[in-house]
Structure 1
Amino acid sequence: MRSLYILHGPLRRGVLARPCHIIRRSKFSGRPALVDTPKTTLLPTTAARTRFAPSPTGYLHIGSLRTALYNYLLAKATGGQFLLRIEDTDRTRIVSDAESRLYEDLKWTGLSWDEGPDVGGQYGPYRQSERLELYTKHANQLMDEGRAYRCFCTPEDLDEMKALNMQDGSAPLYNGTCSHIPPDQSRRRAESGEPHCVRFKCEDHAPFVNDLVYGVYKKPGKEDDFIIIKRDGYPTYHFANVVDDHLMEITHVVRGAEWLVSTPRHVAMYEGFGWKSPEFAHVGLLVDKKKQKLSKRHGDIDIASWRDQGILPAALLNYVMLLGWSHGRGEKGHSEVMDLDEMINKFHLKFTKGDITVNAKDEFLQKAHIRRYMKTAGRSDALEQLIPGLESWVRKFEDNRTANANSNGDGGLVLTELGTAIGPLVPLARPSHDNPAGADTVASRSYLKDLLDFDIKGYATPRDYLMRNVHLLWQIPEKVYEASLSADLDQQRGFFVREDPDAPLGSTSDPPRTVHELTATLRELVRGIAEADWTKQSIDDAISPFVRSVYSNPTTMPGVQVWGYHLLRWVIAAMRPGPAIIPSMALLGRDETLRRMDMACEVAERIHGKPMLACH
């Protein structure tokens, strides 16, 4: 019989040695498994019962959302049931609103459950703190059968034991002192109130685990006699997990690879009870580009933060699904863009082995789902879905602006979030009658919808969208006009208007002009457009011939260049890059456009009211 070798590393597993075959550690990390068989062979042939069992010690993050999603997809793809179970036995670390936030976040993403604390089910209760009698009953069963025992060692005893083991260079395992206490004596000591825990009696070696992703895994060395009931009477995670999964008839457990090292304990308990264990599938750990486990600092923000950033639920689920799963090699022509129904139809159990580096594909998927939604639900309905996120960020920027204005008496302070100074909201963007009665809104919803409709291709998140379109929502402070014009004048020798388009560029028939003269001419052209005729086409017809005739002589390159569109962008957006300017003018409205032109004229007269050196 071939020998069993143990490969060391974060995901250690047993491998049967083969002659003349060297197994490298890279064999266990980073490459998706081959998928060259029909999907039906990559799923169980019977309905799967799966569960998501979070602890309310924190909020839902993308790693835990991925676990929930994979279990949900497996259940739905096989016609089974998906359960939600709250594992709240770690009473010291519970966050008061974590459970309610969990329900809110999961429902927002579109995931639902067939059984759970809030919907009930025949296998309840679904909150572990309400199942303590069951754990006590099963712990007593193990003690009666000689598979577990009470441990009366104090924390000080255990610390001393650990220190001695470390001095000897041994593993810090429990030495089994209390395993030799006769059952009757153990029972009497417990009944007298002596503090104790309950330990599971392990064999010399941990059992094998047959994992659907990593194959055969065996934890090297001797397994500790681990605790199953703590001194406070609550079960440990491992024990409650096993009891609950069995009693709730869970058939498949999909979870992060960090739990693989603990799974031999679970299998040992299943064997100790004489129960059949569920199928296990451990998916790769999510890491950042430096191969560090995700933390809040490295992008593992909670789901509420993703929602606040404006990502669509379908885009987030799609993004999370692809962190460790793919259609597989040989499956050509399959789009990565999927809604929840498509995920169910395409799901299989071939996951990527090894750590999964979190990527930045969320922006691509967000834009793809927006385009999809606009085709399926209609443009208007799709835009309505984006309005709440946009409103939330407008409020944040408005609060920032007014706070700065109140503290300094100047509403034009530079805001870090936007990268530029802003004034009040433009008149058309201010709250008005178009908002629902009693709505606590900070901006006109109809204007926000028009803004989204105008530049939907540039939308990824509300924050980035507002930064791109900042001057279509907020007025431009005078000092921003001054700073942007001064910076541009440093790069110019002079300006002229090409009155004769057939004459050579820079001929003496084109006298030098000031920016004030150019701006004033532009303003008069705009004033000639009536309010009733204020459309993109009428604006274009009125000003484009003049704009195309304005040239400059830059200091950074030889020859002259068309400068009219640059001038127009300074007047309307203070040189800030963004959407096309003439459509922006149509959106802003005639009054706001002329107000900006008046201010630009004043600034230009003050800074550049006299001609510069001739540019010929």
Structure 2
Amino acid sequence: MDKTVRGRFAPSPSGRMHLGNLFSALLAWLSVRRAGGRMVLRIEDLDPERCREEYARQLADDLRWLGLDWDEGYEVGGPHGPYRQSERTACYAAAFHVLEAQGLIYPCYCTRAERLAASAPHRSDGQAVYAGTCRTLNEAERAQLERTRRPAWRVRVPDEVITVDDGLQGRYTQPLARDCGDFILRRSDGVYAYQLAVVCDDAAMQVSQVVRGRDLLDSTPRQMYLYRLMGWKIPEFYHVPLLLAPDGRRLSKREKDLDMGALRQRFTPEELVGLLAFWAGQLERPEPVAAAELVREFDWARVPREDRVVTGLL
């Protein structure tokens, strides 16, 4: 059995990458290269309204500028393509129909306002949890609603606790029904949801190690549930700290915080990699270094769990 570590970086081409994206990309790349594995670059362009080809080309150029290469994926090809989510709809449809045949999904006709109604329980972070309104509709009720609304489709979740043994954050548990509820697999416009797409893609591309931002940790139990339903092997997860502005907000593409356009004007690749490596605990002080020079000494034990505040750059 092939035990080669297969990692991936899977950005969304909805804008120029920012410092937080680069932080995750560098850690994912270093982890794979340290293990002598293979790196995949997948383009997560599910949302046709926000994603553009020009951004995909730009992010590939930005990664190469930093010295972060990949073995399979966008602009490279490989045996597990296509490597763009917009070209993988048939894969998602196949998984959707497997779950449908098991009686695990159902149509949901609720509007956004109805989903957020006060009758629904809420998680501690303020996000609404679906109350299961459409879960028990009979055929006649569904037919009546179908006349005026196109449904989204949800998967039924069990009343059980899912445990994630994260390689960096440690053990994380989530009561799936209480803290998540039945979640959407396909939107009412026919677009497949991220939770289904990311599981299908990582399984099909034989990804064995997922490195991504800590903000996605609470979505991992949902994905593990889908892996289990499909009978696919669950990868290792490493959820890395977020980079925050001095006021505590997360860096984002929308607010143009330290995006690559500005960063490439201010830093050399080595200077920028040195900053990222310092925040990742791989250097004692920020100093110029090529990404390849960090591979041999990379150690997950030195990566901090807590979010890092970026100072002196904004």
- Contact between 2:208 and 2:236, CA under 8 Å: does it hold in 1? yes
Size of the aligned set, in residue pairs, is 305
Specify the alignment match of 2:171 in structure 1: 216
Query: For the structure 1 residues 118 and 299, does the alpha-carbon distance in structure 2 shift closer, same or farther, using more than 3 Å as the test?
Result: closer
Specify the alignment match of 2:187 in structure 1: 230
Q: Distance in 1 between matches of 2:254 and 2:8?
A: 29
Alignment of 1:15-164 (within 5 A): 46-95=3-52, 97-151=54-108, 153-155=109-111, 158-164=112-118
Q: Which amino acid aligns with 1:353?
A: R
Question: Could you tell me how far 1:180 is from its partner in structure 2?
Answer: 2.9
* Deviation sequence 1:340-397 (CA, Å, 0-9, x none): 222111112222011112244x8xxxxxxxxxxxxxxxxxxxxxxxxxxxxxxxxxxx
Q: Distance in 1 between matches of 2:49 and 2:276?
A: 30
Q: Distance in 2 between matches of 1:246 and 1:50?
A: 12
SS in 2 for 1:227: strand
Q: Distance in 2 between matches of 1:69 and 1:161?
A: 38
1:340 counterpart (287, 291, 298): 291
Alignment pair present for 1:356 and 2:311: no
SS in 1 for 2:49: helix
Q: Which amino acid aligns with 1:358?
A: V
Q: Which amino acid aligns with 1:354?
A: E
- Contact between 1:51 and 1:82, CA under 8 Å: does it hold in 2? yes
Q: Distance in 2 between matches of 1:281 and 1:131?
A: 25
Q: Determine what percentage of the aligned residue pairs are the same residue.
A: 36
- Contact between 2:74 and 2:83, CA under 8 Å: does it hold in 1? yes
Q: Distance in 2 between matches of 1:357 and 1:244?
A: 32
* Deviation sequence 1:571-611 (CA, Å, 0-9, x none): xxxxxxxxxxxxxxxxxxxxxxxxxxxxxxxxxxxxxxxxx
Alignment pair present for 1:244 and 2:195: no
With normalisation by structure 2, the TM-score equals: 0.86
Specify the alignment match of 1:204 in structure 2: 159
Alignment of 1:201-600 (within 5 A): 201-219=156-174, 221-295=178-252, 300-309=257-266, 311-326=267-282, 337-350=288-301, 351-360=303-312
* Deviation sequence 1:273-318 (CA, Å, 0-9, x none): 2222111111111113333323579983211211123x21122122
Query: For the structure 1 residues 298 and 140, does the alpha-carbon distance in structure 2 shift closer, same or farther, using more than 3 Å as the test?
Result: closer
Q: Distance in 2 between matches of 1:59 and 1:295?
A: 10
Larger Rg: 1
Bigger RCO (CA 8 Å, 6+ sep):
2
With normalisation by structure 1, the TM-score equals: 0.46
Higher helix share: 1
Compute the RMSD of aligned alpha carbons.
3.1
Return structure 1 stretches of 4+ with deviation > 6 angstroms. Answer: 184-194, 296-299
Q: Distance in 1 between matches of 2:105 and 2:300?
A: 35
- Contact between 1:48 and 1:74, CA under 8 Å: does it hold in 2? no
Query: For the structure 1 residues 190 and 136, does the alpha-carbon distance in structure 2 shift closer, same or farther, using more than 3 Å as the test?
Result: farther
- Contact between 2:9 and 2:40, CA under 8 Å: does it hold in 1? yes
Q: Distance in 2 between matches of 1:225 and 1:118?
A: 37
Question: Could you tell me how far 1:186 is from its partner in structure 2?
Answer: 10
Q: Distance in 2 between matches of 1:189 and 1:130?
A: 34
Q: Distance in 2 between matches of 1:274 and 1:89?
A: 24
Q: Which amino acid aligns with 2:243?
A: L
Unaligned runs of 5+ in 1: 1-44, 329-333, 363-616
Query: For the structure 1 residues 207 and 319, does the alpha-carbon distance in structure 2 shift closer, same or farther, using more than 3 Å as the test?
Result: same
Q: Which amino acid aligns with 1:94?
A: C
Q: Which amino acid aligns with 1:320?
A: L
Query: For the structure 1 residues 290 and 53, does the alpha-carbon distance in structure 2 shift closer, same or farther, using more than 3 Å as the test?
Result: same
Question: Could you tell me how far 1:325 is from its partner in structure 2?
Answer: 2.6
* Deviation sequence 1:144-174 (CA, Å, 0-9, x none): 11222222x142xx523532416xx766432
Question: Could you tell me how far 1:339 is from its partner in structure 2?
Answer: 2.1
Question: Could you tell me how far 1:262 is from its partner in structure 2?
Answer: 1.4
Unaligned runs of 5+ in 2: none
SS in 2 for 1:93: coil
